[in-house]
């Protein structure tokens, strides 16, 4: 299954146009995210006294603690899909968009470092802010021809459909 990723290293207030590249570490990052969520969900399960029957609740709670939720809309047009997702505080520098024939994956990560002076000893705290969203699409798209832009903290991805107007005809045989 072929996939394409769009990234850009230019933070700007103007629309960001992504360059299409591929990355071998993307799968590793998604596996890391999934493992972190699973570990936290298990901690929640144990904290509740290992009471069964709340696995989805634990999973979604863990996701909400570890990832920033992002609202996204998918608009189906004749020739493709337009996806708009809010990515507050993120720029093209820290957003990755991957497309597969029936799926769009949005991943972003930024690290913030804050320094505090506490009685002559500097204290440095690093926090991570991540978003991860997978959108399943109802029609096959062409990942190689997607475009992605960020403007006013909104990511817009245009995904052309494969054979958008093709109607399939099935022959009927006489019995």
Q: Say yes or no to pLDDT of 168 above 70.
A: no
**What's the average model confidence in pLDDT over 154-171?**
76
Higher pLDDT pick, 106 / 121? 106
CB contact set of 66 (below 8 Å; sequence gap of 6+): 33, 36, 37, 40, 130
Q: Say yes or no to pLDDT of 117 above 70.
A: no
Residue 156: the pLDDT is: 95
Encode pLDDT of 45-99 as tens digits: 999 899 899 988 998 888 888 877 788 999 998 899 999 999 888 888 888 898 8
Q: Say yes or no to pLDDT of 37 above 60.
A: yes
Label residues 42-77 b or e (16+ Cβ within 10 Å = b): eebbeeeeeeeeeeeebbeebbeebbbebebebeee
Q: Which two tokens stand for residue 146?
A: 């997607």
**What's the average model confidence in pLDDT over 33-37?**
86
Residue 17: the pLDDT is: 39
Find the distance separating the first CA and the last CA of the chain, reported in whole Å: 39
pLDDT above 90: percentage of residues in the chain: 26
Residue 119: the pLDDT is: 59
Residue 9: the pLDDT is: 35
- Cα–Cα distance measured from residue 137 to residue 144, given in angstroms and rounded to the nearest whole number: 16
Residue 109: the pLDDT is: 82
Q: Which two tokens stand for residue 113?
A: 């470092």
Q: Is the pTM of this model over 0.75?
A: no
Q: Which domains are delineated in the chain?
A: 4-22+71-160 (2.60.40.790)
The one-character DSSP state at 90 is -
């Amino acid at each position: 299954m072929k996939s394409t990723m769009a990234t850009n290293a230019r933070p700007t207030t103007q629309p960001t146009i992504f360059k299409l590249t591929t990355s071998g570490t993307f799968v590793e990052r998604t596996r890391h995210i999934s493992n972190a969520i699973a570990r936290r969900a298990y901690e929640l399960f144990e904290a509740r006294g290992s009471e069964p029957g709340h696995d989805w609740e634990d999973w979604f709670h863990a996701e909400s603690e570890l990832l920033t939720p992002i609202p996204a809309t998918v608009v189906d047009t004749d020739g493709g899909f337009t996806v708009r997702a809010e990515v507050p505080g993120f720029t093209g520098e820290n957003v990755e968009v991957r497309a597969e024939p029936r799926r769009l994956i949005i991943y972003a990560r930024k690290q913030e470092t804050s320094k505090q002076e506490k009685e002559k000893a500097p204290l440095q705290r690093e926090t991570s802010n991540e978003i991860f969203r997978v959108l399943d699409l109802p029609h096959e798209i062409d990942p190689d021809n997607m475009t992605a832009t960020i403007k006013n903290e909104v990511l817009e991805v245009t995904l052309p459909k494969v054979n958008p107007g093709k109607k399939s005809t099935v022959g009927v045989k006489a019995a």
